[in-house]
Structure 1
């Protein structure tokens, strides 16, 4: 198609999950089909098709207390640089305005240069870290965490509820909610790597001890999206062999909402907040 041809934005359904996975796989993202099904079932996912092929997406995932997350902004290679991503984000913002929602997103550095002119305000920063080869050694015993306790700490950190998200994560095959001393985290499958987060702890030492214990029980690559200002935590991870892959910039569009009472050590993922 020529760059000047009109683009029709459509609302996608749960049957589009496999096609969405093709797009995120092309981008080398870690989402799996279960993630796509959650967005398509619980949020609004806008898309652009070329015939029957899905070539671009953007998702709006409402939470509670007037907050929502924008993510899954994807455009296949041959359709990039035509303004499609901006149009899809505008569709998400229009839907959010109709619902009176403040929107958030976690942007890559390239994405942040696009979202800033649209009116997004930078807030905190994240650092994605990867452990490629966990040590297969005996670890301290990990306790099975409680979903209600995880929801409560997540609510204190986010200042709004994400019970449906965390319950769905926790119910997936392979997911675990684990705790050690004063730290707790959710561990789940991704497409290419396991993911730790959200992670809450009373100190960096507690957070690092939990991550170390979890990593000793894993057999493949692990990702964690850490809050950048938790510097002792990140320093401890890199000292233990984790590598920083990329930064993310959290941004907000709309009125400021209530701030959380505690800062997590790691988040659920840039696509979920």
Structure 2
């Protein structure tokens, strides 16, 4: 199929958040309506419709320092294997190229096989883990921390500024930023599970202790996207009842930007980096 065949690629607006949520829900992803609102308000979301129905999407979310994240590449089960995802990712890449942006994404293993030949370079490997039944306890909850402290640590780790994104997360009902022993993490709601991340720490043992304290003060299922190279942290999570759901490969298209000064223990999510 030629790129010009089939229904056109269009830009979506904030009025499309419910239709986007329907696609991510169909795929059993954890995004909320508020997540979609971030992409539609602060980024560029491309879509393809079949009549009035939205059947495929891809988003480009810009960050500082000429960086952008490609995510929300979704195709309804009724419209797969028609090249729709390729057309939408091409639209994201072309938009990034015209703006001089380095593009990043977190790919599934199958996705990495597609993005590699396009010129994406592998960087971090991630592992998504889930804790289905946190065990609440009477142990003291971790201390609250400030958004300024979280954003400062995030800039060190990512090399670019995501203050707007992290502030939007932190201001949602149910969100909290917690810290202990030099560690800091954000906890927020998802559609089916609460999400921990980003999480920064100086030592794996302290990161594990903070995750344990978070889990002990939660009642809903939890997700965390751990950095695979933090092997002691990853092993500690699985030993304490977390199960690995799937891997992701972080990839970059374009020149390297500001060098990261530390490696996070967990990220904000494959859709946000």
The answer to whether structure 1 residue 190 and structure 2 residue 180 are counterparts is no
Q: What does 1:210-249 align with in structure 2 at a 5 Å threshold?
A: 210-249=210-249
- What is the total number of aligned residue pairs between the two structures? 271
* Aligned counterparts of 1:79 and 1:101: Cα–Cα separation in 2: 30
What are the equivalent positions in structure 2 for 1:74-93 lying under 5 Å apart? 74-93=74-93
Give the Å deviation of 1:149.
0.6
Aligned match of 1:36: 36
- Map 1:1-273; keep pairs closer than 5 Å: 6-273=6-273
Q: TM-score, normalised by structure 2?
A: 0.97
Structure 1 residue 115 displacement after superposition: 1.0
Shift, 1:24, TM fit = 0.3
CA distance in structure 2 between the partners assigned to 1:112 and 1:200 by the alignment: 26
Cα distance between partner residues in 1 of 2:19 and 2:6: 22
- Please list the CA deviations of residues 238-273 of structure 1 after superposition, one character each: whole Å capped at 9, or x if unmatched: 010000000000000111112210000000000000
Q: Please give the per-residue CA displacement for 1:142-180, whole angstroms capped at 9, x wherever unaligned.
A: 111110010000000000000000000000000000111
* Corresponding residue SS for 1:172: coil
Q: Which consecutive unaligned segments of at least 5 residues does structure 1 have?
A: none
Deviations along 1:209-230, one digit per CA (max 9) or x if unpaired, are 1000000111110000000000
User: How far did 1:202 drift?
Assistant: 0.9
- Kindly provide the CA deviation profile for residues 171-209 of structure 1, in whole angstroms up to 9, marking residues without a partner as x: 000000011121110000000000000000110011001
SS at match of 1:116: helix
Distance 2:180 2:254 in 1: 38
Consecutive unaligned residues of structure 2, counting only runs of 5 or more, are none
Following the alignment from structure 2 to structure 1, what is the Cα–Cα distance between the partners of residues 93 and 36? Answer: 20
Once residues 40 and 93 of structure 2 are traced to their aligned partners in structure 1, the CA distance between those partners, rounded to angstroms, is 17
2: CA distance between counterparts of 1:218 and 1:156? Answer: 28
Shift of 1:113: 1.2
Tell whether the 8 Å contact from 2:141 to 2:217 is kept in structure 1 after alignment: no
Q: Quote the offset at 1:141 in angstroms.
A: 3.6
C-alpha distance in 2, partners of 1:62/1:5? Answer: 29
Task: Report the Cα distance in structure 2 between the residues aligned to 1:205 and 1:61, rounded to whole angstroms.
Answer: 33
Structure 1 segments (4+ residues) deviating >6 Å: none
Superimposed CA distance per residue, residues 71-126 of structure 1 (whole angstroms, 9 cap, x where no aligned partner): 00000011111111011000000100111000000001111111112111111100
